[in-house]
Amino acid sequence: MSDVIFTNEMDEEMTLNMGPHHPSTHGVLRFIIQSDGEIIRKAVPDVGYLHRSIEKIGERCTYPGYMPYTDRVDYVAAMFANECWATACEKLMGIEVPKRAQYLRVISCELNRIASHMIAIGAMAMDIGATTPFMWALREREYINDFIEELCGARLTYNYHRIGGVSFDMPKGWADKVKTWVDKFVPLMEEFDRLITYNEIYIQRLANVAIITGKEAKDWGLVGPNLRGSGVKWDLRKDDGYSVYSDFEFAVPVGKGQFGAVGDCWDRFYVRSEECKESGKILQQALAKIDEHPEDDLVGKLPKKIKPEGEAYSRVESARGDMGCYVIGKGAEEPYRCRFRTGSFTAMGIIEAKSPGLFLADLVALIASFDVVAPEIDR
C-alpha cells in the first residue's frame, strides 16, 4: 500500500511511496510520488528490483542453450521473446525457416498474444474496481494455457521456438480443438465489450485520463498497443512483414477518441480488446493454411558448427509492441553480446512527464493502461 514517508510543512506536499509491492504496479515496481493531497505533482519510477543480468547470461550460454532464458524477458508473453531470439540468430547465420514451422510460430504467438491481453485488460478492469471481467478473461486464458501445454508441455515459460524452426508439431486433433475455441472466442469478445469495454461507468472513469498524443507517443518511443492507442497505425506484422504475416488478412486497431480524446486510457484498453479479435482471425486463417504444408520439416538446415561471426538485429511485434534483439557473434559457441529492446522499458519514461495533475487513483489507471511487466523493464 502507499505509505507516507514524510511531509514538508513548508509547501504542504507529501512524498508517497507506491510499491514495490503495491498490487496495481503489476510487478516489483516502485513509484516515488510527490502530491498535494490527491493531486500528483510528480511521479518518478524507481526500477531495478528484478534485475537478473539476463543479457549477460546470454554471453555465457550457447546460441541454442540461451532459448529457455529468453522466456524470462517477458513471462506473460514468452513466446515472442523465443521468436525474437530465434529470428536474430537466423539472420546472423543465414538460416531459412520451413513454411510449416513459420505457421506454427504464428499460431503459438497469436495464442500467446490473446492470453497476454486477457491478463492486461482483465487486470486493468480490476485495478479500476471491476472484478468480474478479470474472472471472465482468466477463463478464456485457461483454454489457451491448455492448448499451449499440449503443444509444447509448458503453460507460462514455453521454450518452444528453436533456431531454424520450432521444437514440436501440433498433436493429433489439436488444430480442431483450437479452431472450435477460436470460432467461439471471436464473437464472445462482444460479450466482453458489453460487460466492461462499453460500460458507461468504465468509460467515464477512463476517458480523457492521461492523454498521450500521437506525436508524444513517437517522441517517447512508445510501441505496440500504447503507440496505436494514440492513433498511430504502426504494426510490425503489417509494416515489416516478417514471418508469414503477409499471408493473412487482419486489421490494425488504433485509438480514435471515441469517448474522449485520442490517446487516453480508454483508447489503450480498447486497442487491446480489438487486437484479441484480430488475433482470433489470424488464428483461423493460419490453422486453415498450415495444411498446405504437411510434409515440411520443423527445423531448417543448420550449420554443422554454430559459431557465427557478424551481427544481426531482429524485431517482432510482441504483445507489448516492438521487441528487438541484437546479437553479435565472434566465431565462438557463445554470443559475444546480446541485447533486448522491450516496450515496457520505453513506456516507463513517459510516466513522469504525464503524471503531474493526475489524481493518485488515475496513476493506477495510467500504469494499467500501459500493460507493463517488470522483467521487460529490468532484465
User: What is the CATH classification number for the domain harbouring 88?
Assistant: 1.10.645.10
Number of independent structural domains in the chain: 1
The answer to whether position 40 is within a domain reads no
Q: What confidence tier does 3 reach under pLDDT thresholds 50, 70, 90?
A: low
pLDDT at 307: 93
| Model confidence at 62: pLDDT above 90 | yes
Residue with the larger pLDDT of the pair 268 and 28:
268
pLDDT at 320: 94
The answer to whether position 310 is within a domain reads no
pLDDT at 22: 72
Domain that holds residue 272: 54-305
pLDDT at 242: 87
| Model confidence at 5: pLDDT above 80 | no
The answer to whether position 277 is within a domain reads yes
The answer to whether position 257 is within a domain reads yes
Residue with the larger pLDDT of the pair 295 and 360:
360
Compute the C-alpha angle 227/75/163, nearest 5°.
Answer: 90
The answer to whether position 318 is within a domain reads no
Q: In the numeric block, which cell numbers belong to residue 220? A: 517517447
Rounded CA-CA distance 357/121 in Å is 25
| Model confidence at 129: pLDDT above 50 | yes
Rounded CA-CA distance 87/257 in Å is 36
The answer to whether position 349 is within a domain reads no
The answer to whether position 17 is within a domain reads no
Rounded CA-CA distance 269/197 in Å is 8
pLDDT at 6: 46
Q: What confidence tier does 330 reach under pLDDT thresholds 50, 70, 90?
A: very high
Q: What confidence tier does 11 reach under pLDDT thresholds 50, 70, 90?
A: low
Q: What is the pLDDT of residues 64-105, one digit of tens each?
A: 999 999 999 998 999 999 999 999 999 999 999 999 999 999
Q: What is the pLDDT of residues 203-239, one digit of tens each?
A: 999 999 999 999 999 999 999 999 999 999 999 999 9
The answer to whether position 359 is within a domain reads no
